[in-house]
Amino acid sequence: MLSVVEAQAIVMQYVRPLTPVMIPLTSAAFGLVLAEDIASDLDMPPYDKALMDGYAVRSTDLPEGRGILTVTEEVTAGQTPRLPIAAGQAARIMTGAPLPAGVDAVVIRERTRMLDGNRVEIDDRPARPEQNVMRRGQEMRRSEIVLKAGTVLRPQEIGLLATVGRTAVSAHPAPNVAVLSTGDELVEAGRMPGPGQIRNGNGPMLLAQVCRAGGIPNDLGIAPDQVDELKAMITEGLRSAILVISGGVSAGKLDLVPGVLQELGVQAHFHKVAMKPGKPILFGTLGGVETRRQGDRETRREATSDDIPCLPVSLSPCLVFGLPGNPVSALVCFELFVRPAIRRLRGETDPGPHFREARLRQDFSHRSDRPTYYPARLDWCDQGWHVQPVPWFGSADLRSLTGANAFVLFPAGDHTHREGQVFPVLVTDE
């Protein structure tokens, strides 16, 4: 059986960033990943400017920090100074306004007092050259690369793009991710379950995980344990960049998903991973670049829509993840396999999953035949990261996860882990 690391490596073999598109510099660009380097089209600031409200002065006129100067004019943001400043003179100036010629410092308004006859009395420490001043091009120069391809667009990056005159940028789009829950026992949240039924918690949970990972969620609803209807709903999901199926992937009589996927042309790359919870996870692909072996020679060709009726126009492979039906299993498998795939499709260079090393807060006994991702609380203190497992009753116990923000990875075997031991911790709440 594959290890988690081996399975993750197989997934990433089939994931490449989505083809960049031009995105307008609106809220649609937020969170996307740049696909081009961005150069400034101007010096910034485009002139020497004041960083504070006050008086523009020559530092040599205030060697002791005190003095009386003649005010020649007032300069506000958006205006251009009319007069240079000579010895014994100053200009009243506002934050962001251009500096008059001849000055090299700004004294803040709170250290001054206006006198009669357009004079100002200054009572401050000795003025320093460049005090409260930003010189032209100090922030960036024309033609300088200010953002690199691969940068995630946060509010500050979007503001910078506008500053350098960009109204649209080339970025990797967010992938569409279809989520399908399966099982005759499932009903929607708005219904009272009948005998033998439960509400569908996995669907909303996985859709929220898609959003957190940066994907565009598409809720396909609930598929019954009937081959024809299941096949139709999976076919619809295979038109997305990623299809996430919850339930129906184990070895039971009504675990129909693997057979339906095979019938639809999905190539399974693994089914079962040595982990707990989440062992029955399935990963496959549909379309994209096919690899065929002829004797000892491997050939590659692009699949076409003639080969596969539901192949997306882009010919990128649809990534298919069959997750176990138990909610904690589904959540953990999503974090370990699906979330990194989404982030890589978005163009992120460090898609995860992300782990931190943390010390156990107290002794903890644990027995398992597989490495276990145990729900836990990860916190920072003066001594570094510490982790504490939360009370948990197994892969069906979703409520316990509301007290957790991470999963501590315990090795297989029968162990009593001691306070202070260091373990890898899967970070989810970021």
Are 37 and 96 in contact, with CB atoms under 8 Å apart? no
Please say if the pLDDT value at position 49 is more than 60.
Answer: yes
Residue 151 tokens read as: 């940068």
Tell me the average pLDDT of the chain. Answer: 92
Q: Find out if CATH 3.90.105.10 is the number for domain 21-41+150-172.
A: yes
Q: Is the peptide bond before 324 cis (omega within 30 degrees of 0)?
A: no
Q: Give the model confidence (pLDDT) of 69-93 as tens digits.
A: 999 999 999 999 999 999 999 999 9
* Confidence at residue 322, expressed as pLDDT on a 0 to 100 scale: 97
* Confidence at residue 253, expressed as pLDDT on a 0 to 100 scale: 65
* Confidence at residue 339, expressed as pLDDT on a 0 to 100 scale: 98
* Confidence at residue 254, expressed as pLDDT on a 0 to 100 scale: 64
DSSP 369-428: SS-EEEEEEEEEETTEEEEEEPP---TT--GGGGG-SEEEEEPSEEEEEPTT-EEEEEE-
Please say if the pLDDT value at position 363 is more than 90.
Answer: yes
- Percent of the chain past pLDDT 70, that is, above it, reads 93
Rounded to an integer, the average pLDDT of 342-369 is 96
Residue ranges, CATH 3.40.980.10, the chain: 4-18+173-345
* Confidence at residue 251, expressed as pLDDT on a 0 to 100 scale: 65
* Confidence at residue 408, expressed as pLDDT on a 0 to 100 scale: 98
For residue 167, what are the CA distances in angstroms to 164, 274, 329? 9, 48, 43
Please say if the pLDDT value at position 330 is more than 70.
Answer: yes
* Confidence category of residue 305, pLDDT binned at 50, 70, 90: very low
Flag the least confident range among 11-20, 33-42, 218-227, 282-291.
Answer: 282-291
- What is the side-by-side order of every strand in the sheet holding 21-24? 21-24, 168-172, 33-34
49-134 has which CATH code?
Answer: 2.170.190.11
Place of tokens 């996307």: 32
Rounded to an integer, the average pLDDT of 25-47 is 96
* Confidence at residue 415, expressed as pLDDT on a 0 to 100 scale: 95
Are 178 and 236 in contact, with CB atoms under 8 Å apart? yes
Q: Give the model confidence (pLDDT) of 125-161 as tens digits.
A: 999 999 999 999 999 999 999 999 999 999 999 999 9
- Percent of the chain past pLDDT 90, that is, above it, reads 90
Rounded to an integer, the average pLDDT of 258-262 is 94
Are 342 and 214 in contact, with CB atoms under 8 Å apart? yes
Please say if the pLDDT value at position 306 is more than 50.
Answer: no
Residues 6+ apart with CB under 8 A from 137: 43, 44, 45
Residue ranges, CATH 2.40.340.10, the chain: 355-427
4-18+173-345 has which CATH code?
Answer: 3.40.980.10
Residue 326 tokens read as: 């138990």
* Confidence category of residue 425, pLDDT binned at 50, 70, 90: very high
Fold for 355-427, please state it.
Beta-clip (2.40.340)
* Confidence at residue 292, expressed as pLDDT on a 0 to 100 scale: 34
pTM metric for this prediction: 0.84
